[in-house]
Structures are given as structure tokens and as C-alpha cells.
Chains A and B, each alone.
Chain A
Amino acid sequence: MNSGNNVQFLQGNEACALGAIAAGVRFFGGYPITPATEIAEVMARELPKIGGVFVQFEDEIASIGAVIGASVAGTKAMTATSGPGFSLKQENLGYAIHVQIPCVVVNVMRGGPSTGLPTLPSQSDVMQARWGTHGDHPIIALSPYSVRECFDLTVRAVNLSERFRIPVILLSDAIIGHVRERIVLPSREELTLVERKKPTVAPEDYKPFEDDGTDIPPMANLGEEYIFHITSNNYDDEGFPATNDHDIADRRIKSLYNKIERNRAEIDDVDLFMADDAEIIIVAYGSTARSARRAVMMARQEGIKAGLFRLKTIWPFPYDHLRTAAEPAKDVLLVEMNMSQLDSEIKSATHGLQTRIHGLHQSNGMLITPDQIYDRIKGLV
């Protein structure tokens, strides 16, 4: 990696780290874990050069705790891990969702459960990203399928987290994290960066969680002139516990959901490849989507009308987009490196349609190959 050139041959993890820096991340709290460690390595090398801070903490829990603290103090912050570390981060992740602290958590997925297959790829944390932490909550999770997209979607993750005051999860995988490809890094002028909304009222009038009509309260930097309270309990507009007030609890939970659901147009992100006239729609994301794209091209060469519906935003799940794409198709084939975690989302999105739903799933640490997908496509014709 050469930090001077804009055309480089980089790993997905390296591109992710450079994307974070380009997006304005200036604090990284980390703990090494394969296959995510290269992200911490790049951050450790690059952040000090630009006035940022890298800290390797004693564990995964402390690292996300520090990320939340850095963000409350006004710094864009990120951590990166893999399955076992992602499990450890769930409690603090829920805290950040609840008290609306922007941050990015990268999970470069490897085979599980538990420490599982440390060096091998998987997509088996998709449901954990959605529901790993307890309680009713929304989440945003993005999935890159190339080295360039590791950069782009990390920028987007930072932006969405700042815009909506919510942790955003980048669900990469061991293949995309480690593969090297040529990447043209965008210039600063080509990037759109989002900063969190700041209060405009005087410090004495600031209520940290008062809704201004957008469900995204302005956020002051803790430790500066705006003094406020944050609690993990259900809280009122002043940020103090409101643990027996049903109306406030109702308003709070609905507000957390509303800020995501009412802005789906900004958040939803799918990529359609040869899907317009497709009779067979493959649904895939991450490294599996690369194999799927290749399989679609193989099928097209044989005159089979296949297409790819690729999830760039996995959560919230783009039900409407999938329904629109699937409606004219005869078959939908879900391809994932897990035991079929998104199956129920696909069925929910296509409920009542004539389209038949199929799955190609594998959870043994091996990438699903283009040939495997092509064989299934042929079997559907």
C-alpha cells in the first residue's frame, strides 16, 4: 500500500480503512482479530499522521466503549472485528443504538459459531447484525462486494451513521476483506461527507433528545459548553431516566424506528444486474454476489434469462425493491454462505406472488463458486 497514489492494488480491508479516513473518522478503537486485523493495522499507521487517534484496547468490549465515548465527544469513530468480537460488542452496540450515538462497526465475517473458522469466509452474521443486541431497535447494515466498494460503503456507513445518529454495521467477509484488486481512490472533491446535526439553541435551552420534527435530535459534543446527561435506561428529552413512563417509552421506541423507516429512500441501496427481463433472479451480497454475477453471465451466454438482485444495504431489508424485481420473474434463488438466514425476508418480500423461491446455501468456509450457482440456475430452467 502506497499512501501517495490514487491508483493502487489493495485489499478490501485496506480500502475500508482508507474509506473511513476519507469519511472523516479520526478515532479507531480496536482489538486484533482475523480476518479484520488489516483494518486496525492501516488505522494504526495512518491516523497518527493526520491528528487522529488509534488505540488498541484490552478487548472488544472496551474498544467499542471507547468508540462510543469518542463519538459523544464529537469525533467520527469506528471499530472493526469479526464474529467472536462482534458477539462481545452487542451490549454496547445496543447502548449506542438506544442513546443514538453515531459510529461504524465493521464485521469481516468468518465461519462460526463461536471462534469457528478463524481464517475462512462466511456470511453467517447477517441475522446477528439485525438482532444480535436485545430490545426493539432498528439497524443499518451494508455489504461490499469489491475492494472499491469496501471504500465506498465505509464512507457511506460513516455518512449514514452521522445523518441518522445510529451505529452502522459494515458486513464484509473474509474473501472481500483479503482479496486484492486495482482501485482508483476517489479524490476528496468526489466525496460527499455528512456531519451530524448540531444544536442551534443556547446551551441552557438545549434538551439533548428533544425531537425537532425529524426524529433525529441535534447532537452537541459532550465536554464542551453543552452539558447533558445520557443513560442506558429509557430516557426523557433531557436525557434522564424515565423508566416508568409508558408515553415516553412509546415515543422513544417509535422515534428510533421512524428516523430509519421514514428515510428509506436515502438508506435502501440495491444493485440490479441484467435483471430487467430476468426469469430467474439471484439474490446475493458480498463475495457471493461476485460469483453470482459471473454465473448470471454464464447463463446469459447460454440464452438463459438470469439476473442479479444485489443487496448493498442489507438492513433495513429492501422488501419493496425485491418485490418489484421478483414479481415478473419465475424463480428467485437466494445464494448465501450461511444456512439460509435471509430466507424469511425473501419469502416475506415475495409473499403472494407466483414466483418460486429457492436457496443455495453453504456454511463450510468455502466460497460458493460461479459453477455451483450456474448449475442451480440450469436446474431451474
Chain B
Amino acid sequence: MNNKEYQVRLSGFGGQGIILAGIILGEAVSLYDGRFAVQFQSYGPEARGGASRAEVVISDEDIDLLELIEPDVFLALSQQAYNKYVGDANENALVIIDPDYVTEVPPSSRKVFPVPISKIAREEIGKSIVINMVALGALASVSGLVGIDALKKAVAARVPAGTEEINLKAVQAGYDNAREMV
């Protein structure tokens, strides 16, 4: 994926750490991968449990797009978020869903990657809270928009001291698992 602006939308329900995942993706790309990223998020009336989204535009050049128009990559960690935010995704968009949460995906031309993100967090890592980190790893695999090393550096710099190891393990698990589907 080169010479284009890639539009990425991360979504789920409030409390899953979607916004933080968006910030980390932007930091990974722009601080550790030598490319350009802008990140924005919805500041709607969403409360914990409601649909939440974060968006990142990634490019090799300066970015003047300050609003997502047509996502090229769409991640959904809840059915509500899927239903609410999938609509304007590109017809060739890469769609990453957690099949435990997103069960109804109407057929379309988009390529769907069902990655058991919450299950990996719960069973492989032993902490449901790292679901957003597993999701970032999966997104790195599926999209190729960010290097795993850059992603890990950004995660390590962002998460609370003492939690680096478990978060990095979560990123790697998401990356490895999704890689089998790519």
C-alpha cells in the first residue's frame, strides 16, 4: 500500500479502549515508522457501552484530510459499532471483526477478517482489558499499514509502567493470529 492516503476506522463500544488504540496507531506510524498520520475521534454523546470510534489517516506524504470520507480499513469490536459505522467503508475495504461480538455481517464486496480478538485477550493473554492491543496487532497484520516493531514501540511508550510486557504480548498475539488469515 503506497502513495495514497489510507483511511482507518476503529470502532467498538465505549470502554474497550478504542480511542487509545487510535492514538497508539497514529503514534506508531508518525513517531516510529517515519510516515504521516493524523488521528481524530468522535466526541458524540457516546458513554461507556455506547458505540465509540477513532479514526486515523496514514500516508507517505503530508495529510490535509481532517475527516474520514471512505474507510479503507474498518475494525469493529461490537455489532452496534459495525452497524453504525460500516456504511461509508470503501467497497474494497478490509474489514476486521471480532466474531464473538459481530455476528451479523451482510455479504458485500469488502474482505472480512474474523479475528477472535476478545477470545485471544481472554484466553491467550488472560486479561480481557488488552482487547484493544490484540486488535492493533491484528490490524497491523491485515492492513500492513504499520510495522509491528513501530507498533510495539508506540505501545510500550503509552501504556502504564509495569504493564508493557502483557500489552506487547497482546499485540504480538493479535498480529500472529490474524497473519494466518492474510
Contacts and interface: CB of A to CB of B under 8 A. Distances in A.
A350 interface: no
Interface residues of A, number: 26
Contacts of A175: 40, 66-67
Contacts of A371: 69
Contacts of A366: 67
Contacts of A180: 23, 26, 38-40
Nearest to A296: B64
Interface class of chain B by DSSP: mixed
Given A35-B43, A175-B40, A180-B23, A291 B30 contact: no
B101 interface: no
A287 B44 contact: no
Interface of B: 23, 26-27, 30-31, 36-41, 43-45, 63-67, 69, 157
B144 to A, nearest CB: 20
A290 B66 contact: yes
Contacts of B36: 182
A290 B64 contact: yes
Interface of A: 2, 7-9, 34-35, 119, 174-176, 178-182, 287, 290-291, 293-294, 297, 366-367, 369-371
Contact of A9 (B27, B43, B45): B27
Given A7-B31, A9-B30, A9-B31, A178 B64 contact: no
B66 A179 contact: yes
Given A287-B66, A293-B64, A370-B65, A181 B43 contact: no
Contact of B23 (A2, A9, A34, A35): A9
B39 A369 contact: no
Nearest to A174: B43
A119 B44 CA distance: 6
Contacts of A174: 43
A369 B23 contact: no
Contacts of B41: 178
B69 A9 contact: no
24 contacts: A2-B157, A9-B23, A9-B26, A9-B27, A9-B31, A9-B37, A9-B39, A119-B44, A174-B43, A175-B67, A176-B66, A178-B40, A179-B40, A180-B23, A180-B38, A181-B63, A182-B30, A182-B31, A290-B66, A291-B66, A294-B64, A366-B67, A370-B64, A370-B65
A8 B37 CA distance: 12
Contacts of A35: 43
Contacts of A370: 64-65
Nearest to A367: B67
Given A294-B65, A367-B67, A179 B31 contact: no
- 3 cross-chain pairs, A with B, having the tightest CB-CB distances, nearest first: A294-B64, A119-B43, A182-B30
Contact of B30 (A119, A181, A290, A367): A181
Given A7-B31, A178-B40, A297-B64, 16 more contacts: A2-B157, A9-B23, A9-B26, A35-B43, A175-B40, A175-B66, A175-B67, A178-B41, A179-B38, A182-B31, A291-B65, A291-B66, A366-B67, A367-B66, A370-B65, A371-B69
Nearest to A292: B64
B67 A369 contact: yes
B124 to A, nearest CB: 29
B154 to A, nearest CB: 9
Contact of A369 (B38, B63, B69, B157): B69
Given A2-B157, A9-B26, A182 B37 contact: yes
Contacts of A297: 64
Nearest to A35: B43
A247 to B, nearest CB: 52
A278 to B, nearest CB: 17
A14 to B, nearest CB: 11
A178 B43 contact: yes
A294 B65 CA distance: 8
Contact of A181 (B38, B45, B69): B38
Contacts of B43: 34-35, 119, 174, 178
A209 B37 CA distance: 50
B64 A291 contact: yes
